[in-house]
């Protein structure tokens, strides 16, 4: 059962990201402040619910949230600053978009950097514990999936429409056959045999 609030502050934002483990595309983060009476029976950690249900939830969350923000950190920036920093940067950028600004921030995971003077708490598996983090996970995932479906049109041979850039067998086979695209993260180990090559 998801809890509505951690800190007791009415303006509590939950934040989460999607796409950290992907070989291509951006990291997308979202932040959400929910009202005190928020309820939707489908809401759960975005990994636990189907794509169809996530798509159904997104407009409901956006309509009923007191505030929400979504931020993209593209694959080039992921390569420049590393994926952990990209996740934190994305979450902070999504919080920046919130109006009103939160009095407290709850973060999925165990890593975050202070944002302005606002107190925060990191919560491991927070997306399965608190509604606002679960809502943020749904927004981050649906916005990212949509983007991957769009760039799938440019490079259909990688089937990003289905694998969304994750390191599936099919995705890796396509990299073997066709090489990397401009959307691939070059600091990632795109193929397991990468480090065995005699350069």
List of domains in the chain: 12-152 (3.30.420.10)
Angle between helices 131-152 and 51-64 (to 10 degrees): 120
Q: Which residue, chain included where needed, has tokens 């975005």?
A: 46
DSSP letter for each residue of 16-34: EEE-TT-SBS-EEEEEEE-
What pLDDT, on the 0 to 100 scale, is given for residue 46? 76
Q: For residue 148, count other CB atoms closer than 10 A to its CB.
A: 24
CA 192 to centroid of chain Cα atoms: 25
pLDDT at 197: 46
| Residue 47 · residue 133 · CB < 8 Å | no
Alpha helix positions (H), 65-184: 75-81, 83-96, 131-152, 160-163, 169-178
Q: By the 8 A CB rule, do 91 and 17 touch?
A: yes
Mean pLDDT by 10 residues, the chain (199 residues): 95 98 98 95 86 96 98 98 98 98 98 97 97 97 98 98 97 96 96 62
pTM of the model: 0.95
What pLDDT, on a 0 to 100 scale, did the predictor assign at position 176?
Answer: 95
Structural contact between residues 25 and 151, judged by C-beta atoms closer than 8 angstroms: yes
**pLDDT at residue 195, rounded to an integer:** 52
Q: Which residues contact 7 (CB under 8 A, 6 or more apart)?
A: 103, 104, 106, 119, 121
């Amino acid at each position: 059962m998801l809890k509505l609030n951690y800190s007791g502050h009415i303006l509590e934002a939950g934040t989460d990201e999607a796409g950290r483990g992907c070989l291509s595309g951006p990291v997308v983060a979202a932040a959400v402040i929910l009202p005190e009476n928020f309820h939707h029976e489908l809401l759960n950690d975005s990994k636990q619910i189907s794509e169809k249900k996530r798509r159904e939830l997104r407009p409901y969350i956006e309509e009923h949230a007191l505030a929400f923000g979504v931020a993209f950190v593209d694959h080039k920036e992921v390569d420049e600053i590393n994926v952990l920093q990209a996740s934190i940067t994305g979450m902070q950028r999504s919080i920046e978009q919130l109006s009103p600004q939160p009095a407290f921030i709850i973060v999925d995971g165990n890593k975050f950097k202070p944002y302005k003077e606002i107190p925060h708490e990191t919560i491991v598996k927070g997306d399965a514990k608190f509604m606002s983090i679960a809502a943020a996970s749904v927004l981050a995932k649906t916005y990212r999936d949509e983007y991957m479906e769009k760039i799938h049109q440019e490079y259909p041979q990688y089937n990003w429409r289905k694998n969304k850039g994750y390191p599936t067998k099919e995705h890796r086979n396509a990299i073997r056959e066709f090489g990397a695209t401009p959307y691939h993260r070059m600091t990632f180990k795109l193929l397991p045999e990468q480090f065995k090559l005699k350069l």
